[in-house]
Amino acid sequence: MNELIQLLPKAELHMHIEGSLEPELMFKLAERNGIELPYDSVDELKAKYNFNNLQEFLDIYYQGCAVLQTEQDFYDLAWAYLEKAKDDHVVHTEIFYDPQSHTNRGIPFETAINGLYRAFDDAQNQLGISFHIIACFLRHLPEQDALDLYPKIFENRDKILGIGLDSSEMGHPPEKYQKVFAQAKKDGFKVVAHAGEEGPAAYVREAIDILQVDRIDHGNRCLDDDILTAQIAKAGLALTVCPLSNLKLQVVKDLKDHPIKTMLNKGLMATINSDDPAYFGGYINDNFYQLAEAVSLSDDQIFTLVENSFKASFLPESIKEIHLKALNSFGSHE
Ligand code: HPA
Ligand code: ZN
């Protein structure tokens, strides 16, 4: 089973680049930039990676962002992820980044996007991994902040394919961002939103009805509402599911309780992703390995999840076809 997971070319659709900042790189960048971290060692930092909920994780994650100062820092961050992605046979990735986590610290908008874009562009040539970049708004901040930032995103539309919504979900329903999402949609951006990770099924419904998302990030809690679940399945709207994140943020108590099979059985287009791999204990293949073991995924189910990663991607249909054909040549399906 692990050989099959390793073998299959796959796409990753839910990965926050700031969440791929490994403790070792965090320390290296802190030193390079003369930044004092509130931890004395990598081990002391790693000992903090025990989270009771999303907010406890976010507090540490935003603290980590402080070491990212220069365009080269963002380049190095992205390159480190891309090498892991290559090892896991990722051939296409659609990554998130949080512009406000940087602009609110006084880092110019261009510093992050230019460093990230250059790394992904180099990787496309050197590692054969294609990519899209999705800029996420921090939902704990007012919508006005997102509206104020939006012109920068629009200016960089040659580098940014879509917009997303992340950070603290509870108390910050999708509806709060309807103006900026409507504008982005009108301007031709893809739109996605985290919904139903900790928040209720009603937030998933709002993301669909009000923000008109092209994909739902997480979406686990849609399962609390049978009618909504059936609608999502019928519409073929994909969920970017993140098993190790769900475990580490206590969305599920045990990986054995993960609802992935229920999702597939209900006809949902579920995909497997790593979310914040440096914080949650593994990259995309680790997510597949541990989930497959915990809930006994069949080879067919693994194949379907990987197939979904291309179907749910924002690649042009003609390119999707090429990836799906290549996948089928592995022939373990049917
Ligand atoms: N959920 C919400 N916001 C985030 C996450 C997440 O898992 N990772 C980074 N920002
Ligand atoms: Zn996420």
Task: Tell me how far the alpha carbon of residue 96 lies from the centroid of ligand 1, in angstroms.
Answer: 10
pLDDT value for 1: 80
Q: Which DSSP category does 307 fall into? A: H
For residue 169, the ligand 1 atom closest to its alpha carbon is 2
Nearest-atom number in ligand 1 for the CA of 61 is 9
Per-residue pLDDT at 334: 46
Q: Using the mean position of ligand 1's atoms as its centre, give its distance from the Cα of residue 17 in Å.
A: 11
CB 198 less than 6 A from any atom of ligand 1: no
- What does 101-153 look like in DSSP terms, one character per residue? HHHTTT--HHHHHHHHHHHHHHHHHHT--EEEEEEEEETTS-HHHHHHHHHHH
- For the stretch 37-40, contacts whose Cβ atoms lie closer than 8 Å and that sit 24 or more positions apart, written own/partner, are 37/67, 38/63
Is 274 a pocket residue for ligand 1 (Cβ < 6 Å)? no
Does residue 307 have its Cβ closer than 6 Å to ligand 1?
no
Closest ligand relative to 62 C-alpha: 1
| CA–CA gap between residue 308 and residue 11 (Å, rounded) | 9
Q: Residue 209: count other Cβ atoms within 10 Å of its Cβ.
A: 12
> Could you identify the atom of ligand 1 that is nearest to the CA of residue 136?
10
Residue 332: the pLDDT is 52
Q: Which amino acid is at 6?
A: Q
- Calculate how far, in angstroms, residue 144's C-alpha sits from the geometric centre of ligand 2: 22
Output the CA 19–ligand 2 centroid distance in Å.
9
Q: Coil, strand or helix: which one is 28? A: helix
Task: Tell me the C-alpha distance between 240 and 320, whole Å.
Answer: 17
> Strand pairing partners for 272?
241
Q: Ligand 1 in contact with 54 (CB < 6 A)? A: yes
Question: Distance between terminal CA atoms of the chain?
Answer: 16
pTM: 0.98
Three-class HEC string of 181-233: HHHHHHCCCEEEEEECCCCCHHHHHHHHHCCCCCEEEECHHHHHCHHHHHHHH
In ligand 1, which atom is closest to the CA atom of 98?
Answer: 10
Spacing of C-alpha 197 from chain mean position: 12
Cβ atoms 124, 97 nearer than 8 A: no
pLDDT computed for residue 213 by the predictor: 98
**Centroid of chain to Cα 54:** 14
Determine which residue's CA is closest to atom 4 belonging to ligand 1. Answer: 167
Residue 119, both tokens:
């790394």
Nearest ligand to the C-alpha atom of residue 273: 2
* Whether the CB of 305 sits within 6 Å of ligand 1: no
Mutate to test the pocket of ligand 1, among 56, 62, 167 (most ligand atoms within 8 A of CB): 167
Between CA 84 and CA 86, with CA 85 as vertex, the angle to 5 degrees is 90
Q: Which positions are catalytic? A: 197
Residue 276's contacts (CB-CB under 8 Å, 6 or more residues apart) are 15, 16, 18, 19, 20, 57, 61, 245
CA of 197, nearest ligand number: 1
Q: Which of 14, 16, 169 to mutate to test the pocket of ligand 1 (most atoms within 8 A of CB)?
A: 16
Nearest CA to ligand 1 atom 10: 167
Domains and CATH numbers, the chain: 2-314 (3.20.20.140)
- Which numbered atom of ligand 1 lies nearest the CA of 245? 7
Give the chain's residues under pLDDT 50. 334
> Quick one: which ligand is closest to 94's CA?
2
Q: What is the pLDDT of residue 330?
A: 85
